[in-house]
Amino acid sequence: MTAATPDPRGPLCIVYNAGELVVGPVDDTADTAPADDARTDGPLEIREDAAFAAINGEVVAVGPTDEITRAYPPDNAATAIDADGNAVVPGFVDPHTHALFAGDRSDEFAAKVRGRSYQEILAEGGGILRTVRAVHDASDDDLLANLRSHLDVMLAHGTTTVEVKSGYGLEAETELRLLETIDRAAAKHPITLVPTFMGAHAVPADTDTEDYVDRVISDQLPAVADQGIAEFCDVFCEADVFDVDQSQRVLKAGAAAGLTPKIHAEEFTRLGGAQLAAELEAASADHLLHATAEDVAALVEAAVVPVLLPGTAFGLGAAYADARAFLEAGASVALATDFNPNCHVRTMEFVQTLAVMKMDLTPAEALLAATRNAALAIDRDDGTGTLREGAPADAAVLAAPSYVHLAYRFDTTAIETVVKNGREVGT
């Protein structure tokens, strides 16, 4: 075998012979007619017998395999992947996780299936507060190792961008430590990490909620802003946690410190978090199991992305969010895992299965929700979650002929290999 001649345009990546290549959402705004080899499948644009080329980690061309391989010969590419007739899709974006934690709460799962509620467990000092104690006792290196092991699983299942929240510290020093750990993981792991500060995740034991909100605002937030790692500020707006006024205070102070608002809204009760998200023009409102028609309308009007988390409903045995109401109202519905010790799901494939089976999304709607719409939920409107020219070259190559296998298979992964920033990162 002769060594490849490096392409003078920069490190070249080519993925070719895709039986179907999911490009992204149908582009209604394009002033040129769709390419001859393009077809639409619900909200998705798909090319057949297709390829994409990327230079320096950015997609530069998408089209028929023969054209693309002529312009960008695989022999010259640092990364050349023959998809062998299988499907190629944009890498998944997981826009809501609590993936950085320590300890084990599997016994709570066992208690929940025997009838204990999430809120009862939390009120007794379990749940989030128990993870907070485990995080306090864990070393930085242990926390980092935990996070990296979860990210490895996510990457192997096709996820190339992940939002990670702090929120198991509940005081400044540990919240900063968590954000620092996310930053350290980001420096070493192929996945793009998006850090969110969530000091308002729970109220510490024996603490008055108003006093704690004051501390989040006057103690934690300035330190987090100084540290300069977090991009978003999130709050658990819920009965017996933070009410709408308290959530508003935290999110407004976060915005003043440069952090874009996000909110856990209407998860167990309908409290008004969705309306607050609309008022503050949050990037996203998440959970929404109990959102009303007025909430749906307000979020669509304010262009707040609804992030639906069917894994959480599945794990809690709760009713699912009304995804169809959001879609019918014109929302860019996103999906996420919500991976946390209460919801042990790391794969966006299983989340797509749940979205199709339990929330009545089509496989195409679920894939769009797990890619481009999920990118919108974390303010990545740069092509992330698509394979259009100019987008980051993040893709998953399937061991199956159609993207439908992502939702259809719910035993093992349908992903054969993963490309991140134009490099093969394997499975």
Site residues, ligand NIG (CB under 6 A) = 98, 127-128, 131, 236, 264, 267, 312, 338, 340-343
User: Which residue, 95 or 341, has its beta carbon nearer to ligand NIG?
Assistant: 341
By beta-carbon proximity to ligand NIG, the closer residue of 34 and 103 is 103
Q: Which is nearer to ligand NIG, 135 or 369 (CB)?
A: 135
| Min separation Cβ 318 and Fe ion, Å | 14
- Nearest approach, Cβ of residue 145 and ligand NIG (Å): 19
Q: Find which of ligand NIG, Fe ion, none residue 229 binds, CB within 5 to 8 Å per kind.
A: none
344 CB contacts (<8 Å, ≥6 apart)?
A: 109, 315
What phi, psi does 82 have (nearest 5°)?
Answer: -90, 110
Q: How many CB atoms lie within 10 A of CB 167?
A: 27
Q: Is 37 marked within a binding site?
A: no
Stretch that binds Fe ion, among 48-56, 109-117, 274-282, 330-338 (CB under 5 A): 330-338
347 binds, among ligand NIG, Fe ion, none (CB under 5 to 8 A by kind): none
Instruction: Please choose which of Fe ion, ligand NIG, none residue 371 contacts, taking the beta carbon within 5 to 8 angstroms, the exact cut-off set by kind.
Output: none
Q: Is 168 annotated as a binding residue?
A: yes
Between 65 and 260, CB nearer to ligand NIG: 260
Minimum distance, C-beta of residue 338 to Fe ion, in the bound complex (Å): 5
Nearer to ligand NIG, 223 or 316 (CB): 316
DSSP string, 208-262: -HHHHHHHIIIIIHHHHHHHT---EEEEBB-TTSB-HHHHHHHHHHHHHTTPEEE
Give the tokens for residue 340: 């946390």
With CB atoms as reference, the residue minimizing the distance to ligand NIG is 342
Task: Work out what residue 236 binds among ligand NIG, Fe ion, none; the CB cut-off runs from 5 to 8 Å by kind.
Answer: ligand NIG
- Residue type for 3, please? A
> 334-353: which residues touch Fe ion (CB under 5 A)?
338
Q: Are 383 and 59 in contact (CB under 8 A)?
A: yes
Judged by CB under 5 A, the number of residues near Fe ion is: 1
Among the listed ranges 34-42, 207-215, 274-282, 332-340, the one in contact with Fe ion (CB under 5 A) is 332-340
Pairing status of strand 159-165 against strand 192-200 = parallel
Partner in contact with 216, chosen from ligand NIG, Fe ion, none, beta carbon below 5 to 8 Å by kind: none
**Shortest Cβ distance from residue 414 to ligand NIG (Å)?**
26
∠ CA 398-402-407, nearest 5°, is 80
Task: Report whether 16 belongs to an annotated binding site.
Answer: no
Smaller CB separation from ligand NIG, 59 or 335: 335
- What is the per-residue burial (b if ≥16 Cβ within 10 Å, else e) of 366-394? bbbbbbbbbbbbbbbeebbbbbbeebbbb
Given ligand NIG, Fe ion, none, residue 341, with its beta carbon under 5 to 8 Å by kind, binds ligand NIG
Three-class DSSP category at 14? strand
**Is 264 annotated in some ligand binding site?**
yes
For the chain, give the number of residues.
427
**Cα–Cα distances in Å, from 342 out to 129, 143, 163, 241, 421?**
12, 18, 17, 17, 32
Min CB(285)–ligand NIG separation in Å? 12
CA distances in angstroms from 250 to 12, 129, 201, 308, listed in the order given: 45, 20, 11, 23
CB nearer ligand NIG, residue 236 or residue 320: 236
DSSP 340-401: BTTB----HHHHHHHHHHHH---HHHHHHHHTHHHHHHTT--SSTTS-STTSB--EEEESSS
Beta-strand relationship, 284-287 and 260-265: parallel
Closest CA to 87 of 13, 15, 19, 159: 19
Smallest separation (angstroms) from Fe ion to the CB of 241 = 12
- Nearer to ligand NIG by Cβ, of 69 and 166: the residue is 166
**Residue 294 and residue 271: Cα distance in Å, rounded?**
13
Report the nearest approach of ligand NIG to the CB of residue 374 (Å): 16
- Axis crossing angle, helix 273-280 with helix 293-301, rounded to the nearest 10: 10
**344 has binding-site annotation:** no
- Tell me the pairing of strands 260-265 and 232-235: parallel
List residues forming the annotated binding site for Zn(2+): 96, 98, 264, 338
Question: What residue ranges bind Fe ion (CB under 5 A)?
Answer: 338
List residues forming the annotated binding site for 4-imidazolone-5-propanoate: 105, 168, 201, 267
List residues forming the annotated binding site for N-formimidoyl-L-glutamate: 168, 340
List residues forming the annotated binding site for Fe(3+): 96, 98, 264, 338
